[in-house]
Every structure is written in structure tokens, then in C-alpha cells.
Structure 1
């Protein structure tokens, strides 16, 4: 017969880490920020985090920069003197471009705590991008062996001229079970710098943005839509894999991330919105 629950014999309490894992993800609007600043901050944040550190998503827009991943080859930069800086970084994948008019979402997640395999992480990110595009009546598909999102065949209108073009790129780093780097979605950009590289190592791969596909949407609107889909998809995964292990009281307990997630984006931008700074095998990336 089970023992009665009393102050002297309390019910088991889930760890703080378990509750944090199912809490809302902290969303930080960092605004326009030099790539090196974001890169250093992600590595420092990841190095400093503990099992009780809330997960975060950072939304950023970068000045023009080429980034070369761990699998990158210098020859994939086709123009030696483009005037755009090249930064060697530690994510998976090869070379890509970041610039104004592109939404970059950095995913600072504790995968072990969330019981997320790397393949699941990539799938959830890609699905979030596909759902974001669908919100603007655009179709997007995955491509086997080439992470990211592409314009599919059989699409009508403006998109039909850009079948196979890449609209979103994905690159991650996993360190000590935690992710950083993330996904970039092209909203309304000067696409010419992509002509100076073999995007993600693929010669002749067309890169396109949502504006070219006929969508007039602001950077902030698309960023908010993408963030909402990422939060919903990661939240759904957490509820499926973690909620059954928590009691009703534990799942409803206050958490440190909830208040932080509600911080006014303008106030975050004014203060820099920066948590402790930081760094992680790598999944495929492109």
C-alpha cells in the first residue's frame, strides 16, 4: 500500500533542470550586431551555462560577412577581394553569407536536458522555417544531404523561376550536449554577395530571398514569425518527451525563464540583451 503524502513524507520533486527544460525559451532581440560579437557571445554563453540555465533564442541581423565552417574550403570563396570580411568559425558546414535583410536565429539549447537528438533538432528547425514560409504563402522543402530549405518543384508564380534555390541555411555546433549557431532565413537582401561564393560548398547553387519570391514582409515580422514557430515546435517536443515525467504541480511551478521571455524586446535591445557569454561534434550543416 503506498505511503501517504505528508509534510514529513513529501512527494518526490523533479529537478530544477527538468522544470527549466519544459519552461518557455527565453527570446532575445539583439538587433543589428557584428558577427564576431554574436559568435563570441554564443561561445561564452555555452561555456558558462549550467544545467539550470534557461535555453535561449537570439534574433540577429548582421552587417555583411562571409563565414567559413569547419568543413569549409577557401576555394569556395570565388572572389579574393570582395571587400566583405571572412570569419573562420566552429559550426559544421562550409561557406555562407550573412547580411542586412536576413533573419538569423541562434539556438542556445541544452539538448540532453530536452532529450533532443541532433537529427531531431535539425528537423524541428527546418520544419519551423517551412511553417514560417507557409505563413507568407510560400512553399519550402528539405533536400536530402543538404540541410536548409529550398524552393520546391511545381510551385506557381514568381517561385517557379527559382526552383531548387536555397532560401534558408542551417549550421550548428554542439558542445557538451548544448547547441549554438542556428538558422538564417533570407527575407529581403542584396543577393549579389552569394555570387562570390559556392554557397555551402555547392557550385552554381542559386540563393534566393522571400522578396524575390514575391513576398513583401519586414525583417521584424518574419523574425517574430520564425521565433514563434521555433518556440512552438521545441515546446511541443518538450511536452511530449518531458511533461509525462513531471507532476501537475511541478509542471505548473514558476520558472526563471518565464519572466525573462516576457521582457520587452525594445528594452532588451537598449540594454544589449546579452546573457553570460560562450562554445560544442557537429551535425551536418549548409
Structure 2
């Protein structure tokens, strides 16, 4: 079991370009697993964790409803936003500047083979990070992601999640609103949920900007603890 995880900072990167980059890493791990099984080779499979920020983009998961996108093609262009249907779970979501987007590409055979547990751990690293800022994040039953004010009229989502897994190899991940422009969420029904809103850390804290690098460090700290992982920072 290889618990080493390469942390790669991609900076501001186009969604489709990042998707293709993820797919290369994802397929390489799958190919190695297949080769190991066929040849009984026992070569350790690698793990990756990508941090990225995307230009304005809306993505629709394979089980999503296109009706939850409230913009025409022309209006998308006016907003300087793009749209993609993708192969993760979940409905529609938005990515843009001011978010921390995290894509763990892990061979769960190196950690634990339980997708439910994997999703709960991703939620937990965000919940624990929020707690360090005095923000109480929680789960909403039946709705993946991290929420504030669940059970009140002011329930709001601060982190969306959607993953794909094959042969216990994961891709896609989470979009954590840190300094996000919340106006872009007005043009979708976020995650297909009509009766709740979205929020961002800077809004909750009443500040103009939260230190993004500091938030990333906290996320990785909690990731290391929960996954019992060793992080290796790699320049990409």
C-alpha cells in the first residue's frame, strides 16, 4: 500500500485542460493496476492531489438535469463562462476564481475500499478546516458536500463535491468557496437543490478576502491525518 500522495499546484487553469490532465493520471493508475493483476507485478500505484482554480465554468454531472442551467449559450458567452457535461456524479455546479478546487486522484486500494467513507472524509477535511476559522460546517442528509445552517431557513452550501471512481481509482473532487463570486450561482440551481443557497468563507467571516494558501495548508493537514497519507509537493 502506497500512502504517498503527490501534491500538484496547477494555478489558474482551464477546466477542460485540467479534466484532460486528470484523465491522463487516472488512466495511468488504472493501466498499472491492470498490468499488476495480469502479471502479478506488485508495482506500487501512485496517488495525486491537484489544487487548481478555474475560470468561470459550469459543469453538469452524468445524473444531472440540463434544466438546472439557467443561461442560454449566448448568455454564457456574455458572462465569459463555459459549460461542460462531465463524467462525475452529482448535478450542476459552478467553478470560478476564489474557489479552491481539489482533485484527489487516489488508488483507494492504498487507503480503504469504501466510496461512502471516501466522500465522508473529503467532507470532513473541509468541516475541520472551517472549524479552525470558527465556522460550523456540517453535512445535510442525502446531499453530498458541506453545508452551514442545516435545519434552519438559512441553510447554505459552502463546498460542492462530485467524484468518479473505477477499480477504486478516483477523480474529480470538491469545489470549496473561499472568496467566490456568489453572483455566478444565481444562474443555476446549484446541485439541483432549489430550497437552499450558497455561501463563501469570506462572506461568513465578513472580510474581503481569506488567505487561500493558508486554507490549502489546513485542508492538506486534515487530509494527511484522515487518510494517514504522506504528502510530497511536486512542481507541475
Query: Could you say which residue in structure 1 is the equivalent of 2:220?
Result: 227
The separation in 1 between residues aligned to 2:195 and 2:183, in whole angstroms, is 13
User: Which of 105, 110, 113 is the aligned partner of 2:110?
Assistant: 113
Query: Could you say which residue in structure 2 is the equivalent of 1:34?
Result: 14
Once the two structures are superposed, the pairs formed by residues 9-158 of structure 1 within 5 Å of their partners are 18=1, 20=2, 23-49=3-29, 50-51=32-33, 52-80=44-72, 81-83=75-77, 84-152=81-149
* Deviation sequence 1:233-270 (CA, Å, 0-9, x none): 111xx7xxxxxxxxxxxxxxxxxx77xx144xxxx1xx
* Deviation sequence 1:37-88 (CA, Å, 0-9, x none): 1111111111112242321111111110000100111110012123221111
In the alignment, structure 1 residue 170 sits paired with structure 2 residue 161: yes
Larger radius of gyration: 1
Q: 1:45 to 1:153 in 2, by over 3 A?
A: closer
Check whether the contact 2:150–2:156 (CA below 8 A) recurs between aligned residues: no
Instruction: Give the number of equivalent residue pairs.
Output: 217
When the two structures are superposed, what TM-score results if normalisation uses the length of structure 1?
Answer: 0.72
The separation in 1 between residues aligned to 2:15 and 2:226, in whole angstroms, is 27
| Secondary structure of 2:191's aligned partner | helix
Check whether the contact 1:128–1:230 (CA below 8 A) recurs between aligned residues: yes
- Structure 2 unmatched ranges of 5 or more: 34-43
Spell out structure 1 runs of 4+ moving beyond 3 A. Answer: none
| Secondary structure of 2:197's aligned partner | coil
* Deviation sequence 1:109-138 (CA, Å, 0-9, x none): 111232230011011111111001011111
When the two structures are superposed, what TM-score results if normalisation uses the length of structure 2?
Answer: 0.86
What RMSD over aligned residues (CA atoms) do the two structures have, in Å?
A: 1.9
Larger strand proportion of the pair? 2
